[in-house]
Amino acid sequence: MNIIVSIKQVPDTNEVKLDQTTGTLIREGVPSIINPDDKAGLEAALRLKDQYGAHVTVLSMGPPQASVALREALAMGADEAILVTDRKFGGADTWATSSTLAAAISKLDYDLIITGRQAIDGDTAQVGPQIAEHLSLPNVSYAEEIWLEGDSIKVKRQYEDRYHIVRVKMPCLVTALSELNEPRYMTPGGIFDAWQKDITEWHRDDLKIDDSNIGLKGSPTRVKKSFTKAVKGKGTVVTMDSQESANWLADRLHDKFIL
């Protein structure tokens, strides 16, 4: 069985802090990690490998330093790693990203493609289903559990207030939630082995894809501007009677979109 896992190296956005004086993000010193949803997808693939002897290929589109994330995936137990990298892929929105990844994946043999549901920097949750569309594959998103059943995949598909248990024939694509599992650690020996392996690099000319579908030029959506949310100023403390206090608090919850 051939499984392809698509991963993204992201800054750990939980560790990003706002500079209180300038109102900008402090990005240096923020560690780069494998996107949590993707890591869960990789773990799911590795469990299928443990159980059924699958071959697991990890793929990532990114700048050269994304190879570190691929190394980590190899150290966890993936068999092969491919970095899809080229200046020309830069500035891509989800259409261009998914097109590029689909072009890369179509060079490989696969029964199952696993991606994370969403990346903690882009937060779109779009690339997985879009890859499936480009490859004309059925997709199941928000997988909380994945099983193999003959020539099909069974998924516990999460919704806000319920689950569906669904079955889909391979080849197909599944997007994983970080709730799916507790990803394994690397082993020290696995790390040393991973750095002995070669990571295949594919550049623009290695992919059959038109320039009008890649990078900034190939992106239907563009960022017009980005800004940080207002710096947290000093809080407000009030003294009122109980009913007024309750009303005041409820209004504040409205302000913050909590109510």
Partner 1 sequence: MNFELSNEQQMARELFQSFAEKEVKPLAQEIDEQERFPSESVEKMQKYGFFGIPIPKEYGGQGCDVLTYILCVEELSKVCATTGVVVAAHTSLASDPILKFGTEEQKKKYLVPLATGKAIGAFGLTEPNAGTDASGQQTKAVLEGDHYVLNGSKIFITNGGKADIYVIFAMTDRSKGVKGISAFIVERSFPGFSIGKKELKMGIRGSSTTELVFENCIIPKENLLGQEGKGFNIAMATLDGGRISIAAQALGIAEGALDETVKYVKERKQFGRSIAAFQNTQFRIADMKARIDAAQLLVYRAALAKQKGGRFSVEAACAKLFAAETAMAVTTECVQLFGGYGYTRDYPMERMMRDAKITEIYEGTSEVQRMVISGALLK
Partner 2 sequence: MWKVVRKMNKEDYKGIFVFAQQVDGKLENVSYELIGKSKALAKDLGCEVTAMLLGHNVEPLCKQLAKYGADRVILADDPALEVYTTEPYAYVITEIIKKYKPEIALYGATAIGRDLAPRISARIHTGLTADCTGLEIEEETKNLLMTRPAFGGNIMATIACADFRPQMATVRPGVMQRQSPNEGAACKVERFSLPDVASHVNVEVLEVIKKVSTKMDIQDATVLVSGGRGMGGPENFGMLEELADALGGTISSSRASVDAGWVEKDRQVGQTGKTVRPNLYIACGISGAIQHLAGMEDSDVIIAINKDPSAPIFEVADYGVVGDALKIVPLLTEQVKKSQAEKKNA
Residue 252 as a binder of partner 2 (CB under 8 A): the answer is yes
Q: Cα–Cα distance between 84 and 86 in angstroms, integer?
A: 7
Q: Which is nearer to partner 1, 150 or 188 (CB)?
A: 188
128 makes contact, choosing from partner 2, partner 1, none, with CB < 5 to 8 Å by partner type, with partner 2
- The entry of partner 1, partner 2, none that residue 187 binds, CB within 5 to 8 Å by partner kind: partner 1
Instruction: For the CB of residue 38, give the shortest distance to partner 1 in the complex, in Å.
Output: 17
The two beta strands, 2-6 and 112-116, are parallel
Neighbours of 216 (CB within 10 A): 14
Partner whose footprint covers residue 94, from partner 2, partner 1, none (CB < 5 to 8 Å by kind): partner 2
Report residue 17: phi and psi, to 5°.
-115, 160
> According to CB under 8 A, which one of 127, 143, 170, 180 is a site residue for partner 2?
127
- Asked if residue 127 lies in contact with residue 84, where contact means CB atoms within 8 angstroms, the answer is no
DSSP labels for 74-93? HHHT-SEEEEE--GGGTT--
The answer to whether residues 47 and 171 touch, using CB atoms and an 8 Å cutoff, is no
| Binder among 150, 198, 205, 242 for partner 2 (CB under 8 A) | 242
> Which residues of this protein are in contact with partner 1, per CB under 8 A?
68, 71-72, 75, 184-192, 194-195
Tell me 136's DSSP state: T
The least CB distance from residue 184 to partner 1, in Å, is 8
Question: How far apart are CB 187 and partner 1 at their closest, in Å?
Answer: 4
Q: Which residues pair with 221 in a beta bridge?
A: none
Alpha-carbon span 8 to 66, nearest angstrom: 8
148 binds partner 2 (CB under 8 A): no
**Which residue in this structure is represented by tokens 């570190």?**
68
DSSP tag of 214: S
- Tell me if 229 contacts partner 2 by CB under 8 A: yes
Examine residue 168 and tell whether it contacts partner 2 (CB under 8 A). yes
Residue of 28, 31, 53, 236 that binds partner 2 (CB under 8 A): 236
* Residue of the chain from 7, 81, 176, 209 that contacts partner 2 (CB under 8 A): 209
Nearer to partner 2, 56 or 131 (CB): 131
Q: How far is CA 92 from CA 7, 119, 217, 257, in A?
A: 16, 14, 8, 31
Of 52, 163, 192, 195, the one binding partner 2 (CB under 8 A) is 163
